[in-house]
Amino acid sequence: MAQIRLVNVCKRWGSYVGVDNFSLEIADAEFLVLLGPSGCGKTTTMRMIAGLEESTSGEIWIGDRMVNGMEPKDRDISMVFQSYGLYPNLTVYENIRFPLRVRNVPKAEHDARVMRAAEMVELGPLLDRRPAALSGGQRQRVALARAIVREPNAFLMDEPLSNLDAKLRVSTRAQIKNLHHTLKTTTIYVTHDQIEAMTLADRVVVMNKGQVQQVGTPTEIYDRPANTFVASFIGSPAMNLIPGHIAGGVFGADGMQVANLAAANGPVTLGFRAEDAQVVSDGGNIQAPVYAMELLGDATLVSVRIAGALVAVRAPKDFRIDIGAPLQISVPLSVVHLFDASTGARIAL
Amino acid sequence: MPHRAFFAFIFPSLLAMVLFITLPIFSVLVQSFYVEHDAILTTVESCGPFGCDSETKVDTEAMAKLRADAPLGKFAGFSNYLNRNHLAVAEVGAIFSDNNGIGDIGARLMNLPFYRALAFTLAYCFFVTPLAMALGFAVALAVNTIPKLLRGPTIFVSLLPMIITPLVGSLILSWMFNPAGILGAGLQHLTGDPTLSLRASPALTWAVLLLYGVWTNGPFSFVVFYAGLQSVPQDTLESAKMDGATRWQSVRFVIIPHLMPLATFVALVQLMDNFRVFEPIVGFSAEANATSLSWLVYNDLVSQDSAQFGSAGATSVITIIGVLILLAPVLLRTWRDFNRKVV
Amino acid sequence: MANTRPLALRGLTTGFLAIWLIAALFPFAWTVWGSFKVEADFFSRESWWFAIEGTRTQAQTGGSFTLAGYEGAWIKNEFWKPVINTLIVTICVTCISLFVGTLGGYALARSGQRYAFWILIAALVFRAMPHITLVSGYLLPFFQLNIWGVLPTTIVVLVAINQPFTLWMLHSFFLSIPKDLDESALVDGCTRFQAFRMVIMPVMWPGVVTTGLFSFLLAYNDFAVTSMLLSQDNQTMIPKIASFLGSIQNEGNVMYAVAAVVSATVPLFVLVLFFQRQIVSGLTAGAVKG
Ligand SMILES: Nc1ncnc2c1ncn2[C@@H]1O[C@H](COP(=O)(O)OP(=O)(O)O)[C@@H](O)[C@H]1O
Ligand SMILES: [Mg+2]
């Protein structure tokens, strides 16, 4: 168990920057999620911590050791790969035992530890099978068991659920959460799925194009996104973002007006979430014809097009309206986020 | 993989290739600039009962010493490359400045050992490669239509001409083409010419060698094309059928384009292999009528008096340059692909 | 069904295939059959029926078949000596090639560096070098070092000449093993070499068997290197057969050479019989990916 510290870590391939100046402190026993779109450098960051990739510059500390240049085996971390990386020629039992074997853990302990790890992920009856004879979910659990069979400094998990079907994903997610609660091992978890991030994380790091966009608890990230990227990446549907201008405290865009904003004059992007606004019959901030209506089951999503952006709002589940009919939407001042039009950074209100 | 681990892993392999492929190439290059020492002559007086005789003979002792001191021989510059047995610059110049038309040029060039070997080597490369590929493709198409059960044995038989040791395969065929062998006798019978034989007829020798080449190279194309046929996209084939394509049109517009990358690969490998054609010349004892570049080198090395390292070296260097020219398109393409990938 | 072919096409296909199969098999069948006859039958001027029925063989030896050729080759000319040499050379070359090649091929498959790419390209060029041109570079140094003529030298040279091919083939087999496997092993506590030995090699053996077959064939079929680098006493089968031609043919004992040729062919047939699938997969491995 250990805390992990990254100081100005960079990874470049030639002129291509994979990870740019990444600094972060991960507390002992924390569950940290790296979240971002595909290709943003999450895996690379994790692999640099594991020692599978050398950082171009910067320092990586695990506990009180700087691990730059250290072999993966000496960093004492365990990792769950996206495609599991099980040894096809070994049985489930031998797969789980493998780390103990190569790390020269006394033979006498092996059986008990393998059994305990297998128990924790409910693999009991499968121990004699080979990976090829397992389902995706079962392989995933073998990979988890292999990671927890020893007590490493940290767990690294790279999109461990992405190869599972939707239902299995939910149950395995819960299992991972529970395991972390039991073992209290520092965990770094990579995903591009914001729901996984929100449900699992103590803290989330949102990344884009190799750069950290925001670090915070799931609530912070959801409630106060640091910039338009985070705002549009977190939440489903994505936050509505409307380009416009502030003049005398009034936000104006084609088809939309919000008054009483304590912000300087100039171009801005205004954001609000679909669930924070209401369809009203009169006096809304937005007036536009309906563009589309989608039934979600527990609600109805109605969208309009203003200022070149698609704006969605959540209406009650029995709300119905024709496409093209005029619609009014009220956006309370308290749910409005403002972002700088050029940098995208959040403007404090 | 870190650099250190990489080099630790590849070291034995790299060492073997550097020691036994790269160094010999340099060694050949160096050798090609030397010739055998001139004989050192001494005059010995031998006096007998009928007076004294002075006799000139090779001073073996001095020669041995010289050979030990300078085993490469005498530095000769480019003379190995330019002499009659290689590029034959003077002779070629003479032929071009004074000749009786194209036919004469050809005939006289074919009297120069190097050009004779080059002509056959290139002919072998550029006849055998496409013909063997066509044969392989046809066999692959045919095998693809027979019942699954028969395919195994068919593939087994088809592999034999390829897997056979080249020298052994060419010996087997050469015995059959012997005037007293079944095919040689058959040919005499067919043509009604009782003197027809490999030894007597350069044209027949060339034909039989090329035939051997197609026979032994065909199976490789067959196997690769057959594997390729198994992966022809069935949807495309079926939609071609629905669009009304005839059998030939599906072959022409679906199957051949699908196999094209494979064909490039096969052509490359076959060209490389055929350029070093050598064993068939020995197996068919064809050297009177057809020689190849590799055979010239071999011949220099086994020559009766003493191995002609300089001459062998010069031919080798020219052959290596030939290989590089053959490979150039591939190397250029790989280089371009690689640069594109990096950027 | 849309797949049925017109009768004419089917006849054509079958006919063509039959001709090819005869062309592929007949020379071997003929030579094997003939190797049990006397020379007058094998090279019969009058009629090739003699070769089939063994007319002269009957006249000369009393039976339709004779082992005279094999006796002459194996016993009188001690063909068993080159056979043993071949055995030593091919086994050593195959084992060493595989050992050296798996290490190198693994490194090439797992390094994304530019120099790995260049090594592969160099190997491609080396693969195209005519062996005899390399041989002409060996002779002088080997004479100087006094290591010419012996089996170990030939084995090492054949291993080196095989390397480019072996590297390419093994490299493409290693590429088909997911990288995750090595990396799991590294994180689980292996060194690179342990990962290679304990995790990768156990799943690699089909590729190793296939590559081994081709290394074996290269060594077995070689003539250029073995004929130039081995002294008379240490010759392997193929150069021995070639030297038979020089000496025996003139003495009218060409049947010895025929018997030796058949003897050298049999192991190849057995090899194809047992490893047909691996040979086919090996031939296509480079092609389908490249
Ligand atoms: N070995 C490499 N060489 C060059 N570029 C790479 C290499 N590995 C990854 N990249 C690039 O770095 C970026 C980040 O990759 P990665 O960390 O895998 O993203 P992800 O967030 O999806 O896990 C990607 O654009 C990828 O193309
Ligand atoms: Mg990733």
The amino acid at residue A41 is G
Q: Per residue in C40-78, pLDDT tens?
A: 888 877 777 777 777 777 888 878 788 888 988 888 888
- State the closest ligand 1 atom to the C-alpha of A36, by its place in the atom list counted from 1: 21
User: What is the pLDDT, as a whole number, of residue C95?
Assistant: 96
User: What is the pLDDT, as a whole number, of residue C274?
Assistant: 93
**Facing residue for A87 by CB, picked from C183, C187, C199:** C199
Q: Report the range of poorest mean pLDDT among A63-67, A116-120, B213-217, B330-334.
A: B330-334
Q: Is the CB of A285 under 6 A from ligand 1?
A: no
CA A41–ligand 2 middle distance (angstroms)? 7
Looking at chain B, the whole-number percentage of residues with pLDDT higher than 90 is: 40
Is C74-285 a domain of CATH 1.10.3720.10?
A: yes
* Alpha-carbon dihedral angle through residues B280, B285, B286, B291, given to the nearest 10 degrees: 70
Taking CB atoms and an 8 Å limit, are B294 and C241 in contact across chains?
no
User: What is the pLDDT, as a whole number, of residue A212?
Assistant: 94
Q: What mean pLDDT do residues B63-69 have?
A: 78
Helix (H, G, I), strand (E, B) or coil at A262: coil
- Indicate where chain A has its CATH 3.40.50.300 domain(s): 4-228
Query: Distance between CA atoms of B160 and B169, rounded to whole angstroms?
Result: 10
Q: Per residue in A160-212, pLDDT tens?
A: 988 888 888 898 899 999 999 999 999 999 999 999 999 999 999 999 999 99
Q: DSSP character for C250?
A: G
User: What is the pLDDT, as a whole number, of residue B190?
Assistant: 87
Helix (H, G, I), strand (E, B) or coil at C215: helix
Instruction: Give me the domains of chain B, ranges plus CATH numbers.
Output: 36-75 (no CATH), 76-111 (no CATH), 113-342 (1.10.3720.10)
> What is the pLDDT of chain C when averaged over all its residues?
88
User: What is the pLDDT, as a whole number, of residue C151?
Assistant: 93
Q: Per residue in B137-192, pLDDT tens?
A: 999 999 988 888 999 999 999 999 999 999 999 999 999 998 888 888 888 888 88
ipTM for this model: 0.91
User: What is the pLDDT, as a whole number, of residue B78?
Assistant: 85
Contact partners of C by the rule of 3+ C-beta pairs under 8 A? A, B
**pTM (two decimals):** 0.87
Length in residues, chain B: 343
**CATH code at A238-347:** 2.40.50.140
Q: Where are the domains of chain C?
A: 74-285
> What is the pLDDT of chain B when averaged over all its residues?
87
Q: Is the CB of C290 under 6 A from ligand 1?
A: no
User: How many Cβ pairs within 8 Å bridge chains A and C?
Assistant: 61
Give bridge partners of residue A295 from the DSSP assignment. Answer: A300
Confidence of residue C1 (pLDDT cuts 50, 70, 90): very low
Strand (E) or helix (H) holding A62 = strand A57-62
User: What is the pLDDT, as a whole number, of residue C289?
Assistant: 41
* CB contact at 8 A, A116 and A158: no
Region of residue A21 (phi > 0: left; psi between -120 and 50: alpha; otherwise: beta): left
C189 inside 8 A of chain A by CB = yes
Q: Is the CB of A266 under 6 A from ligand 1?
A: no
User: What is the pLDDT, as a whole number, of residue B306?
Assistant: 67
Look up residue C266 and give its two tokens. 């049999």
C118 inside 8 A of chain B by CB = no
Give every CB contact of residue B17 below 8 A, 6+ residues apart in sequence. Answer: C122, C123, C126, C160, C163, C164
Query: Distance between CA atoms of B140 and B228, rounded to whole angstroms?
Result: 9
Q: Per residue in A215-271, pLDDT tens?
A: 999 999 999 999 999 999 998 888 999 999 999 889 988 888 888 888 889 999 999
Crossing angle for the helix pair B129-143 and B148-163, to the nearest 10 degrees = 160
CA B254–ligand 1 middle distance (angstroms)? 36
> What is the pLDDT of chain A when averaged over all its residues?
91
Confidence of residue C251 (pLDDT cuts 50, 70, 90): low
Taking CB atoms and an 8 Å limit, are C188 and A86 in contact across chains?
no
Q: What mean pLDDT do residues A14-33 have?
A: 92
- Indicate where chain A has its CATH 2.40.50.140 domain(s): 238-347
Taking CB atoms and an 8 Å limit, are B6 and C117 in contact across chains?
no
User: What is the pLDDT, as a whole number, of residue C250?
Assistant: 62
Which residue, among B278, B297, B18, B312, has the nearest Cα to C156 in the 3D structure?
B18
∠ CA A248-A251-A253, rounded to 5°: 130
User: What is the pLDDT, as a whole number, of residue B194?
Assistant: 83
Residue A99 has pLDDT above 90, yes or no: yes
CA A161–ligand 2 middle distance (angstroms)? 12
User: What is the pLDDT, as a whole number, of residue B172?
Assistant: 93
CA A90–ligand 2 middle distance (angstroms)? 26
Show the DSSP H helices in B195-255 as ranges.
202-230, 234-242, 247-250
The domain made up of A4-228 has a fold known as Rossmann fold (3.40.50)
Q: Report the range of poorest mean pLDDT among A98-107, A162-171, B19-28, B330-339.
A: B330-339
Give every CB contact of residue B30 below 8 A, 6+ residues apart in sequence. Answer: B72, B313
